[in-house]
Amino acid sequence: MGVSLEITTNNNEEYKDNDNKIESHIICPKCDTSKDFTFSKSKINADDFLTTIFFPRGRICEHQFNVYIDGNGDVRGYQLVNFIVPSFESDESELKFTSDNKIKSEEIDLDLIEMNYSENFFIYICRIILFRKKTIILEKDDFLINKLTKFLDYLTEDSFNYDILFYSKEKYKTIKKSYKDYVILNENKIIHSPPGFLSKRKKKMIKQSKIEQYLVNKYLALRSYEFALQVLRKEIHTIYLLASSIAMYATEIKNEKKINISKIKEVLRAKNKNSEYNPYIDYLIEISKNYFGAKLPYIFSTVLNSI
């Protein structure tokens, strides 16, 4: 199976030339509502590649989901989409994934990593990277450390920098007093973390953890496809660009005492026309503060519950 370029299609186009069209029967993975669609072959990857097609709410039913089809138009899989991280309109901002830069299983050995670490480990890693938390992973197997490092380097390429060290449990016991401000990961558990890292007392933190869980669950759901890791990397990169745009805006308004949330939405729309930021705009704001060190003034809203 090859790597697909991610393509979104919203129109059921009609083509006069039957040789240049592909027909697919699409079924919503949530409610089983179905509909036949016709796609241009120019939009579908040929040979052994898969094409990702996004169906927004209202296109077939009330649900939004991705469909993965092959060059013959046969559906190879579905994935429900709970929320959308907007892609950038600018070609310079979007990551381009092709067969030339696909991740090779022998370089990272995802099977080995997944045998040793659970879903929670990947969720913790997302939070560690996105919120720039200094971390120690307790691991003494040099081979596994090498694979984990390549995995992290790939996910954060052209976006986030991470500060993760690897120590054996024995070594950590002798130096742990020097790393009190670090998150300490032991296999699939956090045995030490700075205040607020995983606090569930605040509703904001719970919302944030759900976003990280969504990212990981989407990756795991696509795990049978070689492009799954590329999808995760692209979404992490998009979050990086969105949060950095907020941080840059913060430098432009440093003398302001307060701003309306609508101003931040305008900054995001300047990068992308998609306006569905409400479910996670506070998440992007927190990343801009924690990772980029953005100093934003008091944020208020004239519309109740707009954040």
- Contacts (Cβ under 8 Å, ≥6 apart) of 105: 111, 226
In whole angstroms, give the CA distance from residue 267 to residue 264.
5
> pTM here?
0.63
The 10s digit of each residue's pLDDT in 222-239 is 766 667 787 888 888 888
The 10s digit of each residue's pLDDT in 57-108 is 777 888 888 888 887 888 888 888 766 555 433 333 343 444 344 455 457 7
Whole-angstrom Cα Rg for the chain:
21
Residue pair 64/57 in contact by the 8 Å Cβ criterion:
yes
Query: Strand 34-40 vs strand 21-27: parallel, antiparallel, or unpaired?
Result: antiparallel
In whole angstroms, give the CA distance from residue 191 to residue 180.
11
Count of positions (residues) in the chain: 307
Q: List the chain residues with pLDDT less than 50.
A: 1-17, 87-102, 105, 201-202, 275, 303-307
In whole angstroms, give the CA distance from residue 84 to residue 101.
24
First to last CA, the chain: 41
In whole angstroms, give the CA distance from residue 101 to residue 49.
14
Q: Which helix (H) or strand (E) holds 137?
A: strand 135-138
| Residue pointed to by tokens 């077939």 | 60
**Helix residue ranges, H only, the chain:** 105-108, 110-116, 119-130, 142-155, 169-175, 203-221, 228-252, 261-271, 281-290
Q: Burial level of 181, CB count in 10 A (0-12/13-18/19+)?
A: exposed
Max CA-CA distance within the chain?
73
